[in-house]
Amino acid sequence: MTIVVPVKHRNLDLWLILLLAAALRLWSLDIKEAHFDEGINGWFSDKLKERGCFAYDPTNYHGPWHFYTVFLSQSLLGRNIWALRLPVIVASLLCIPALFLFARWFGRNAVRWAALAFAVSPACVFYGRYSIHEPWFVLFCLIFAWGAIALWLDRDKAGLWAAAAGLAGMILNKETYIIHAGSLALAAGVFALWNRVSPLRPPPERATARTWRRKDALLAAGVMVFLLVFFYSGNFFNFKGVGDMFRSLVAWTETGASANGHDKPAFELLPFVNYYWLALLARYEWPALAGLIWSVRYAWPGPAVPRLLSIYAGGVLLAYSVVPYKTPWCIISILWPWFLFFGAAIEAAGRLWARAIGVLLLAVSLGMALRLNFRQYENDAEPYVYVQTYNSLRTLTDPLLEAARRDPRFYRVTGALCCDYYPLPWSLGDFTNLGWHGKPDPANGKNLPASFNGHDFVVVETKDAATVRAKLPADFVERRFKFRSGMEECTVFFSPRILSQSWDDTP
């Protein structure tokens, strides 16, 4: 059965899916504290404002694009959690119309299923509410893949520009562009060889002549190079960043190979291939897992584009499985093609029972997304909840922010933070007199300041609280909280004037 949509309502399906996706990503956006990485990304954006340019660090493994979008968002909306996260919500939502571009090769009905699966995916919702690079990276992956395929089949300017823009966007976001661009290039070679063994049916229809000229390719390449130089050079104030763009690949390769504390349980399905991503699919992403299973079907005669994308998706999964370094948010860069295959499987079956199964899988996905994002968002037992900051951090931040909201002079209070402290440099970025001492070093006399005279608040690990208490006035109020898993409990000592929110009180 084919669903026929009247022409005047042709994009109604797209808008309804966007509305659902937006509701899931925007509702209670501030329900959880900024993640460690969100705090770092926000801090980098703050530094961009202070310096007037972005100084790219090749050991950071992330391109400058996301920092510029956060800088723009905070400049327009102020420094708050909504402004920090809104850019990635925009990116995540734009992925849905990008998926609809593939309707010409998969069919409109199949793409509707794919877009719905993306809209309610636990990973795509969870990390689509996170101020990290991945949602932007996925968007540019989609644009690049569509552009490369359109360039191959249509041989037109639209494909040329989309491929160039998508590749530039990927490079501007993460060094993992090497995995995705390389996987697509290798997929093209495997595709050509496999077509000799199992010919396509029907054969691909390619344009008889290309409609772009050499000057078009040079212009697209020139724009791409300009964008890369502009952003990596910190809008032409730090040309060292352009060279660092290539040096970062060396640092990224070394970190990826060493895992750097982000390795995962090693049950190997094949030598050197870790099961981690498949385990995440089996736990959270049932529509994508169904799409992965269906993608094997394209080893047999079938359309060209689904076969090419199935090889590409398999190559990306293999590459990410081999690399020891694994953080769960990378899953959204891996699974998007399988949403298309999920839709293709339902439409290929063409039966009511297949649609019923599709609705059931989407309902399960939506239920898990709601549970994860609005109830279990700081539960360490959930693999997607990865070193998430606990809301108990508000024990520290709420009194300070509320006092400053009532009286801006409180932005000048003096504080000492003697612990691991991200995301606090962003969360408390408007406070001007804070000392960031870091985690005390037991081998160096605990590295605590000798005196806390004049301080309005002090934060230390609870095991050092007695030492600090002896150095503070008796009227300081002690409260405890915990940052996140893997960190010791912390204690904050507040002066009376912070808790009373009266600037004129004696600290």
> Are 63 and 193 members of one domain?
yes
30: how many CB neighbours lie within 10 A of its CB?
Answer: 12
Q: What percent of the chain has pLDDT over 70?
A: 91
- Residue 91 counted as domain residue: yes
> Are 318 and 395 members of one domain?
no
Domain boundary among 340, 374, 408: 374
Whether the Cβ atoms of residue 147 and residue 160 lie closer than 8 Å to each other: yes
> Are 424 and 334 members of one domain?
no
Residue count of the chain, please give it. Answer: 507
Domain boundary among 349, 374, 399: 374
- Residue 220 counted as domain residue: yes
Decide if pLDDT at 342 tops 80.
Answer: yes
> Are 28 and 168 members of one domain?
yes
- Residue 1 counted as domain residue: no
Q: What percent of the chain has pLDDT over 90?
A: 77
> Are 368 and 395 members of one domain?
no
Cross-strand pairs, 478? 493
> Are 66 and 133 members of one domain?
yes
Domain boundary among 343, 374, 405: 374
385-404: per-residue pLDDT in tens? 999 999 999 999 999 999 99
> Are 336 and 472 members of one domain?
no
13/244: higher pLDDT? 13
> Are 89 and 187 members of one domain?
yes
**Residues 172, 95: Cα–Cα separation, whole Å:** 17
Q: Look up residue 378 and give its amino acid.
A: E
Q: Which two tokens stand for residue 119?
A: 């809209």
85-134: per-residue pLDDT in tens? 999 999 999 999 999 999 999 999 999 999 999 999 999 999 999 999 99
> Are 318 and 172 members of one domain?
yes
239-257: per-residue pLDDT in tens? 998 988 888 877 666 655 5
Largest CA distance in the chain: 85
> Are 356 and 489 members of one domain?
no
Decide if pLDDT at 442 tops 90.
Answer: no
Confidence of residue 1 (pLDDT cuts 50, 70, 90): very low
pLDDT, averaged across the chain: 91
Give this prediction's pTM: 0.92
- Residue 380 counted as domain residue: no
- Residue 270 counted as domain residue: yes
> Are 369 and 406 members of one domain?
no
Number of domains in the chain: 2
Whether the Cβ atoms of residue 330 and residue 265 lie closer than 8 Å to each other: no
Confidence of residue 55 (pLDDT cuts 50, 70, 90): confident
**Can you give the pLDDT at residue 273?**
58
- Residue 353 counted as domain residue: yes
Decide if pLDDT at 507 tops 50.
Answer: no
Decide if pLDDT at 2 tops 50.
Answer: no
- Residue 383 counted as domain residue: no
Q: Look up residue 356 and give its amino acid.
A: A
With H, G, I as helix, E, B as strand and everything else as coil, classify residue 176. coil
Domain range spanning residue 336? 7-203+210-374
> Are 357 and 411 members of one domain?
no
- Residue 63 counted as domain residue: yes
Q: Look up residue 72 and give its amino acid.
A: L
**Residues 2, 355: Cα–Cα separation, whole Å:** 12
